[in-house]
Amino acid sequence: MGKDEFLDTTDKKEVRRKIKKFSISLFSVFCFLSSAFLTSCSLPRIIVLDDPLTPEEHVNLGVAYERQGKIDIAIEEYKKASKKLPIAYLYLGNVYMQRGETDMAEECYKKAIEEQPDLADAYNNLAWLYYSKKENIVEAERLVLKALEFNPSNENYKDTLKKIKELKSKNGL
């Protein structure tokens, strides 16, 4: 039907044929437009612009995933938390240490200390990392002593210091 043409409604077959032709055309246009905006077999995506979880909630999720043995997911949660919560670097370092990824653990402990200089556990854990690798022993002792400045009664820190001193005397340092 062109401009100024009217549909003769007396011929019902002709009306049905034109409606069907129009419907097919309309459907084709819809398919073309939808394929331009969506990839095949995909659904519209919901994009979250603001993270609904707090950094503390991400750390708690990380701990839960870590306990379940889902280390990769725990790491992702700790990374999300670390953007605003420096202690998350400590948790990241601990996970990397467990995996034997000592370079990553060292980096995380140093970042935790840089971001939160009074985080005694980060000093102690970095000292323990050095002790475990049998390197930077003098630095390890300095670090654990710093941890003990923040928390003199912590038995774990005292144990770390004891082990480091034993290693130092054994190696004549």
Break the chain into its structural domains and give their ranges: 53-116, 118-173
Kindly report whether the global pTM for this prediction surpasses the value 0.85. Answer: no
Nearest Cα residue to 81 out of 54, 43, 55:
55
In the prediction, which pLDDT does 68 show? 94
Q: Which amino acid is at 136?
A: N
Tokens 């073309």 found at? 32
Long-range contacts of 50-54 (CB under 8 A, 24+ apart): 51/80, 53/80
CA separation for the pair 81, 61 (Å, rounded): 10
Q: Are 98 and 129 in contact (CB under 8 A)?
A: no
Q: Which top CATH class is 53-116?
A: mainly alpha
In whole angstroms, what is the distance from residue 75 CA to residue 27 CA?
47
pLDDT of the residue at 31: 55
Asked whether 37 and 44 are in contact (CB, 8 A), the reply is: no
pLDDT tens digits, the chain, 173 residues: what are they? Answer: 455 555 455 666 665 666 666 556 555 555 555 555 555 555 567 776 677 888 899 999 999 999 999 999 999 999 999 999 999 999 999 999 999 999 999 999 999 999 999 999 999 999 999 999 999 999 999 999 999 999 999 999 999 999 999 988 887 77
* 96 touches 112 (CB < 8 A): no
66: which 2 tokens? 């870590």
Q: Which residue has the tokens 């870590």?
A: 66
Q: Which residues contact 80 (CB under 8 A, 6 or more apart)?
A: 51, 53, 55, 58
